[in-house]
Amino acid sequence: MILSNKKNKKKQEKSYLDYSFLEELKGVFISPELETNKKMLEEYFKDCSDVVIKSFQIGNGVDNDEIDALAVSVDGMIDNDLMTEAMKSMMESKVEISDISQIKESILPFAEVNEKNNFSDFMLSILNGDLGILIDKNTESLLVSMRGFKTRTISEPETESSIRGPREGFIENLRVNTSMIRRKLKTPHLKTKAYKIGKYSCTDISLVYIDNIIDPNLIKEVDRRLSMIDMDGVLESGYIEEQIQDNIYSPFPQFRYSERPDTVSAALLQGKFAIIVDGTPNVLIAPTIFLNLIQASEDYYERFIVATAIRWLRFLFLFLALTTPAFYIAFTTYHQDIIPTTLLLSIIAAHEAIPFPAIVEALIMEVTFEALREASVRLPKTIGQAVSILGALVVGQAAVEAGIVSAPMVIVVSVTGIASFTIPTFNTGIAIRLLRFPIMFAASLFGIFGIFMSLLLLLGHLGNLKSFGVPYLTPLAPLRIKDLKDTVVAAPWPFMTERPQYIPVQDKKRMGTQVKKNVEKDGGIKNKNAEEVGDQGE
Amino acid sequence: MNKSIQLLIYSLLIECLLLTGCWDRIELNDIAVALATAVDVEEDHVYRTTVQYALPGKMGASQTTGSGGGAEDNIAYIDSDIGKTLREAVTKMQARMSQRITFSHRRVLIVSEELARNGIRDMFDTTARTASNRLSAYIIVAKGKAFDLLKAEPQFERFSGENILYLAEARGVIKVNMRQAAQAMSPIGSDTILSYMTVKKSQLSNDPSKEIEFVGYAQFQDDKMVGTFEGEEAHGLMWLKDEISPYTTILKIEENKYASVNVKNGNVKIKPKLNDDHIEYALDIEINANLIEDFTRSDITNNSTQEVLSKSLEDHIDGAIHSAIKVIQENKGDSAQLGLLLQRHYPKQWREKYEDNWYEELAKAKFSIQIKANITDAGLVSENITNRVKAEESK
SS3 sequence of A459-500: HHHHHHCEECCEECCCCCCCCCHHHHHHCCCCCCHHHCCECC
Predicted confidence (pLDDT) per residue in B258-283, tens digit: 999 999 988 999 999 998 888 999 99
Question: Which residues form the domain of A379?
Answer: 304-467
| Domain count across chain A | 3
Q: Is the pLDDT of residue A150 over 50?
A: yes
Specify if A231 maps to a domain: yes
Instruction: Specify the 3-state DSSP secondary structure of B22.
Output: coil
- pLDDT confidence band for A1 (50 / 70 / 90): very low
- Same domain? For A273 and A343 the reply is no
The answer on pLDDT for A534 being more than 60 is no
With a cut of 60, say whether residue A8 has pLDDT above it: no
pLDDT digits (tens, 9 = 90+) for B136-151: 999 999 999 999 999 9
The β-bridge partners of A196 are A204
Residue B60's region, left for phi above 0, alpha for psi from -120 to 50, else beta, is left
pLDDT at B395 over 70: no
CA distance B269 to chain A (A): 38
**A283 and A316 part of one domain:** no
Of A433, A467, A501, which one is at a domain's C-terminal end?
A: A467
Record: contact A337-B132, CB cut-off 8 A = yes
Residues in contact with A298: Cβ distance below 8 Å, sequence separation at least 6, in sequence order: A162, A163, A164, A165, A307
Contact A354 B29 (CB under 8 A): yes
pLDDT classification of A5: cutoffs 50, 70, 90: very low
Nearest-CA distance A437 → chain B (Å): 18
Same domain, residue pair A311 and A400: yes
pLDDT the model gives residue B375: 87
Q: What is the DSSP string of A216-247?
A: HHHHHHHHHHHHH---S---SHHHHHHHH-S-
Contact B25 A403 (CB under 8 A): no
pLDDT at A4: 45
**Percentage of chain A lying above the pLDDT 90 cut:** 38
Q: Is A348 on the interface with B (CB under 8 A)?
A: yes
Question: CB under 8 Å to A221, separation ≥6 — which residues?
Answer: A468, A469
Mean pLDDT of chain A: 86
What sign results for the dihedral spanned by CA atoms A424, A428, A434, A437? negative
Q: Does A461 touch chain B (CB under 8 A)?
A: no
Cα separation, B152 vs B211, in Å, equals: 6
Confidence of residue B67 (pLDDT cuts 50, 70, 90): very low
Domain membership of residue A156 (yes or no) is: no
Average pLDDT over residues A52-79: 82
When pLDDT is cut at 50, 70 and 90, the band that residue B64 belongs to is very low
CA distance A224 to A221: 5
The residues, ordered by sequence, that sit 6+ positions from B300 with a Cβ below 8 Å of its Cβ are B291, B294, B306, B309, B375, B378, B382, B383
A460 and A320, same structural domain?
A: yes
> Among B35-39, B216-220, B349-353, whose mean pLDDT is lowest?
B349-353
For residue B132, what pLDDT is reported? 83
Share of chain A above pLDDT 70, in %: 93
Scanning every residue of chain A, which has its alpha carbon at the shortest distance from the alpha carbon of B53?
A: A345
Confidence band for A532, pLDDT divided at 50, 70 and 90: low
Query: Which amino acid, residue A400?
Result: V
Q: Are residues A140 and A180 in the same domain?
A: no
Within chain B, residue ranges assigned H as helices are: 3-18, 86-94, 113-118, 121-129, 146-151, 160-168, 178-185, 232-241, 303-331, 338-345, 347-349, 358-364, 391-394
- Domain end, chosen from A228, A257, A288, is at A288
Instruction: Please check whether residues A361 and A316 belong to one and the same domain.
Output: yes
Does residue A49 form part of some domain?
yes
Neighbour tally for A352: CB within 10 Å: 20
Residue, of A51 and A395, whose pLDDT is higher: A51
Least confident of A24-38, A509-523, B129-143: A24-38
Above 80 in pLDDT, residue B62? no
* pLDDT on residue B60: 60
pLDDT at B22: 67
Higher pLDDT among residues B236 and A379, named by residue: B236
Give residue A29's pLDDT.
86
* Separation between Cα atoms, residue A229 and residue A243, nearest integer Å: 7
Name which of B17, B62, B107 is nearest A349 (Cβ-Cβ): B62
Q: List C-alpha distances in Å: B229 to A508, B197, B233, B325, B366.
A: 75, 12, 5, 10, 20
Q: A479-483, B218-222, B379-383: which range is least confident on average?
A: B379-383
Q: Give the nearest partner residue to B56 out of A349, A400, A447, using CB atoms.
A: A349
Contact A333 B17 (CB under 8 A): no
Q: Please indicate, yes or no, if residue A181 is contained in any of the structural domains.
A: yes
A343 → chain B, closest CA residue? B56
Q: Are A329 and A456 part of one and the same domain?
A: yes
Q: Is A513 within a domain?
A: no
Query: For residue A353, which residues of chain B lie inside 8 Å, CB to CB?
Result: 62, 64-65
- pLDDT higher than threshold 80 for residue B68: no
**Do A440 and B11 form a contact (C-beta atoms < 8 A)?**
no
Residue A179, SS3? Answer: helix
Across A39-124, the runs of DSSP E, i.e. the strands, are 51-58, 67-74, 113-116
Does the residue A168 lie in any domain?
no
Whether A113 has a pLDDT exceeding 60, the answer reads yes
Chain B positions with Cβ closer than 8 Å to A: 17-18, 24-29, 31, 33, 35, 54, 56-57, 59-65, 102, 104-105, 107, 132, 162
Average pLDDT over residues A275-282: 94
Angle between helices B121-129 and B178-185 (to 10 degrees): 130
Judge contact between A16 and A118, C-beta under 8 A. Answer: no
Residue A66 has pLDDT above 80, yes or no: no
Residue A41 exposure: Cα atoms within 13 Å on the Cβ side: 30
Residue of B nearest to A397 (CA): B63
Confidence of residue A535 (pLDDT cuts 50, 70, 90): low
Domains of chain B: 27-230 (no CATH), 232-395 (3.30.300.210)
Q: What pLDDT, on a 0 to 100 scale, did the predictor assign at position A135?
A: 87
- Split at pLDDT 50, 70, 90, the class of B51 is very high
Residue B131, pLDDT above cutoff 60: yes
CA–CA separation, A359 vs A457, rounded Å? 21
The pLDDT of residue B72: 52
User: Taking 80 as the threshold, does the pLDDT of residue A15 lie above it?
Assistant: no
Whether A375 is covered by a domain: the verdict is yes
For the segment B350-369, the average pLDDT, to the nearest whole number, is 90
Which of the four pLDDT bands, split at 50, 70 and 90, describes residue B384?
confident
8 A C-beta contact, residue B112 and residue B146: yes
Average pLDDT for residues A171-182, to the nearest whole number? Answer: 93
* Judgement on whether residues A362 and A427 belong to the same structural domain of the protein: yes
What pLDDT, on a 0 to 100 scale, did the predictor assign at position B1?
62
- Same structural domain for residues A197 and A105? no
Boundary of a domain, candidates A288, A322, A342? A288
A315 and A350 share one domain? yes
**Which of A409-423, A460-474, B66-80 shows the lowest mean pLDDT across its residues?**
B66-80
Winning range, highest mean pLDDT, from A98-107, A311-320, A349-358, A404-413: A311-320
A128-132, A435-439, B137-141, range with the lowest pLDDT = A128-132
Residue (of B117, B163, B164) closest to B138 by Cα position: B164
- Least confident range from A224-238, A444-458, B3-17, B98-112: namely B3-17
In the predicted model, is pLDDT for residue B69 greater than 70?
Answer: no
Residue A305 to residue A238: CA distance in whole angstroms? 35
Specify whether A284 is located in the same domain as A319. Answer: no
The pLDDT of residue B61 is above 80: no
* Residue B110 C-alpha, separation from nearest chain A C-alpha, in angstroms: 19
**Residue A122 burial (C-beta neighbours within 10 Å; 0-12, 13-18, 19+):** buried
Percent of chain B with pLDDT over 70: 94
Confidence of residue A530 (pLDDT cuts 50, 70, 90): low
Contact list in A for residue B162 (CB cut-off 8 A) is 341
With respect to residue A492, please indicate whether it lies within any of the assigned structural domains.
Answer: no
> Which residues are CB-contacts of A493 (< 8 A; sequence separation ≥ 6)?
A300, A304
Task: Verify that A457 and A315 share a domain, yes or no.
Answer: yes
How many Å lie between the alpha carbon of B104 and the closest alpha carbon of chain A? Answer: 5
